[in-house]
């Protein structure tokens, strides 16, 4: 089934919108199909500020309706304890909030941006989506990440080459408590590296140290700014280490 046909069959839908590649294309496709769609952004301490700014920008460029829904995720012990299935508990909280808002707005269906390239066997959050009957049209229509990027570029969406970005909580080792301080420290470190020109990287908390994961193309940039990076990050971390198992491309 083509995505346009999906929206013809489901002409009214709420879209869980993150400002990333997949949900951006899903929102655009729904509007192109003439469906009544609305974007809902669940705002938590797990997302950096730039994600919300990207969501606002994309919605504005498309002329789409966007509602921002604050969710106090740090008050949920099942999430902050950071168990192996943390993502399940987090997704339940986020999508229960979105479902409630969508229902109040008269939408019979909530959609998310899971695509055909996503490995569902390693995504505890998918169980929450299944339990809440959230649909994933990109996956159902067989659209891979590469195809979504290609189509997004053709559509003129600025998100087409945006690197995948997992939430800030993923930088904290499983089993270690998630706190606002750790999240803010991570966001500040990653914002700093972005200003230096890094893309598609992570700053992970590792025994009090910052462990940098960068793609192969970023190794030279690390060496170029090594002294500055160490000096800056050691203001918040006990040390700085470089992970030589480089990150994959986009």
Is residue 173 included in any domain, yes or no? no
pTM: 0.92
Is residue 46 included in any domain, yes or no? yes
Give dist(CA 217, CA 250) in Å, integer: 12
User: How would you list the strands of the sheet with 202-206, edge to edge?
Assistant: 202-206, 209-213, 240-242
183 shares its domain with 118:
no
Q: Which of 186, 10, 173 is nearest to 84 (CA)?
A: 173
Per-residue pLDDT of the chain (250 residues), as tens digits, is: 899 999 999 999 999 999 999 999 999 999 999 999 999 999 999 999 999 999 999 999 999 999 999 999 999 999 999 999 999 999 999 999 999 999 999 999 999 999 999 877 667 888 999 999 999 999 999 999 999 999 999 999 999 999 888 899 999 999 999 999 999 999 999 999 999 999 999 999 999 999 999 999 999 999 999 999 999 999 999 999 999 987 775 5
Domain span including residue 223: 179-242
Q: Kindly report the backbone phi and psi dihedral angles of residue 162, in degrees, each rounded to the nearest multiple of 5, phi listed first.
A: -70, 130
Cβ neighbours, 10 Å, residue 119: 7
35 shares its domain with 122:
yes
Which residues 6+ apart lie within 8 Å of 233 measured at CB? 189, 192, 203, 210, 240
How does DSSP classify residue 128?
H
CATH number, domain with residue 104: 3.40.50.620
- Residue 172 tokens, joined: 């904290």
């Amino acid at each position: 089934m083509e995505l346009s046909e999906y929206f013809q069959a489901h002409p009214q839908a709420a879209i869980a919108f993150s400002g990333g590649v997949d949900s951006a294309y899903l929102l655009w496709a729904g509007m192109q199909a003439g469906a009544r769609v609305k974007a809902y952004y669940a705002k938590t301490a797990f997302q950096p500020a730039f994600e919300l700014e990207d969501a606002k920008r994309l919605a504005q460029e498309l002329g789409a309706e966007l509602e921002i829904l604050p969710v106090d995720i740090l008050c949920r012990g099942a999430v902050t304890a950071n168990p192996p299935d943390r993502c399940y508990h987090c997704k339940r909280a986020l999508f229960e909030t979105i479902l409630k808002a969508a229902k109040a707005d008269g939408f019979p269906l909530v959609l998310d941006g899971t695509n055909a390239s996503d490995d569902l066997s390693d995504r505890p959050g998918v169980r929450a989506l299944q339990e809440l009957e959230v649909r994933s049209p990109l996956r159902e229509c067989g659209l891979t990440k590469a195809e979504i990027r290609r189509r997004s570029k053709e559509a003129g969406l600025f998100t087409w080459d945006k690197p995948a970005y997992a939430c800030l909580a993923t930088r904290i080792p499983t089993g270690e408590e998630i706190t606002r301080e750790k999240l803010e420290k991570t966001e500040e470190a990653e914002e700093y590296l972005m200003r230096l020109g890094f893309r598609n990287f992570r700053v992970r908390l590792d025994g009090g140290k910052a462990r940098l994961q960068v793609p192969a193309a970023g190794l030279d940039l690390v060496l170029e700014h090594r002294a500055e990076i160490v000096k800056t990050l050691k203001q918040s971390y006990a040390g700085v280490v470089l992970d030589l198992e480089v990150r994959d491309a986009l």
